[in-house]
Structure 1
Amino acid sequence: MKVEYFIGIVPPEEYLSKIVQFQSKWVKQLGVEPHITLKAQGGLTPDKTWIDKVKRVCENFKRFQVSLGKPRYFGDNILYLSVDSNELHHLHQKIVNEISPSDELIKQYFELDAFVPHLTLGKEHNGVNISSGLSKNQLKEMERTADLELAPYPKFEVSFIRVYELNNKKRRYENFIDISLTN
């Protein structure tokens, strides 16, 4: 059984509900709650020794502002809300450097220089609807509707980060632990 983790930032509850409601028009069951990816799976090992390193980084990192923005694509098959925040990039770099995954993992998960903060709205899976995968047409429809239903895009303070753990039985990432940033 595969144990996987990743780290994200959760939008404020009210906007989180708005995104879930929006996504549920296309996807029956979400694989994870809407979040801004901060640190992908690479280097987040099952022994959890990295958690103390992440806590240390967060103890020395001040709360900061994040702005969500217009929908964009990775390629033509992943639709996401753009994210603007210099501090988010700094926090990402500090966590990656502290955990120090291999160069291969950094490259595989698009980290450090390749890091693009984002909040995924939907993904295409070979033109067919597999679990949370959408067809190209559904993705285009989602993009057209996003600006109408999700704007105005909020700016909010990040006071904690969330570690997610894969629940293999449910085939879904669930909240594992929240780690506060310093005041």
Structure 2
Amino acid sequence: MSASHLLALRPPPDIEARIVAFREAHGVRDSAAVPHVTVKARSGLDNDLRWLDLIPAVAAATPPVPVELLAPRVFPNGSALYLPARSPGAVRLHLALLDALRPTRRFGYEGPHMTPHLTLALGRRDMNMDALLDAARQAFPPPLTFTATELVWMRKPGPGGAYRPVQSWTLGGTPDP
């Protein structure tokens, strides 16, 4: 199986440390090991990496993105425990990336209805999501706010791997020539 790519906003070190500590305390080990708010996943982000040429201009044209992390929730299908991210700027960045990348196939969650979020834990059969949700409510009383100043390319090497940062671009910065 091949690598997967996504583009994300990262929280500042203090919020990241709280999330990492929560995951460690609850034995969570999954592909969301590095805390992030995904703004563009997979479609159009092929392993040929030609899309990388388009990203600096989108980042340069996008001002820093305010993010407000809200009370923890579990997706209705139980696939993940997450912090919803209230961020019109993240949605605008997502739409700008879709416009630049023009993927031949889009996922149903892409577009203006995209729900920005920060995954705390992916659902597994052996995980009690109700108990984990209760613990997350205690650990992350809303709101947590930050302003993202970089767009980050994250790569997962394959199944069982975790997304890790590869490269970043300053939001509102000047694209490299």
Q: TM-score, normalised by structure 2?
A: 0.88
Count of matched residue positions in the alignment of Structure 1 and Structure 2: 171
Which residue matches 1:91?
93
Query: Is the 1:69–1:153 Cα contact (8 Å) retained in structure 2?
Result: yes
Which residue matches 1:69?
70
Report the Cα offset of residue 3 of structure 1: 2.4
Which residue matches 1:161?
151
Q: Which amino acid aligns with 2:134?
A: R
Question: Deviations for 1:16-51, whole angstroms, at most 9, x for unmatched residues?
Answer: 010011011223534231111111111101121111
Instruction: Tell me, in whole angstroms, the C-alpha distance in 1 between the residues paired with 2:118 and 2:28.
Output: 18
Instruction: Tell me, in whole angstroms, the C-alpha distance in 2 between the residues paired with 1:124 and 1:29.
Output: 11
Q: Which runs of 4+ in 1 moved over 6 A?
A: none
1:122 paired with 2:118, answer no
Query: Is the 2:23–2:121 Cα contact (8 Å) retained in structure 1?
Result: yes
Which residue matches 1:12?
12
Worse-matched range after superposition: 112-121 or 10-19: 112-121
Report the Cα offset of residue 150 of structure 1: 1.7
Instruction: Tell me, in whole angstroms, the C-alpha distance in 2 between the residues paired with 1:48 and 1:145.
Output: 39
- 3-state DSSP of counterpart to 2:163: strand
2:130 to 125, 134, 140: 140
Query: Is the 1:123–1:139 Cα contact (8 Å) retained in structure 2?
Result: no
Worse-matched range after superposition: 63-72 or 151-160: 151-160
Question: Deviations for 1:90-117, whole angstroms, at most 9, x for unmatched residues?
Answer: 1100001110112x4333xx11134110
Which residue matches 1:132?
none
Query: Is the 1:4–1:165 Cα contact (8 Å) retained in structure 2?
Result: yes
Instruction: Tell me, in whole angstroms, the C-alpha distance in 2 between the residues paired with 1:60 and 1:11.
Output: 20
Q: Which amino acid aligns with 1:166?
A: K
Structure 1 alignment gaps of length 5 or more: 129-134
Instruction: Tell me, in whole angstroms, the C-alpha distance in 2 between the residues paired with 1:169 and 1:93.
Output: 28
Q: TM-score, normalised by structure 1?
A: 0.85
Query: Is the 1:66–1:156 Cα contact (8 Å) retained in structure 2?
Result: yes
Structure 2 alignment gaps of length 5 or more: none
Percent identical pairs in the alignment equals: 23
Question: Deviations for 1:158-182, whole angstroms, at most 9, x for unmatched residues?
Answer: 1001111123497222111011101
Give the structure with the higher percent helix.
Answer: 1
RMSD after superposition: 1.8
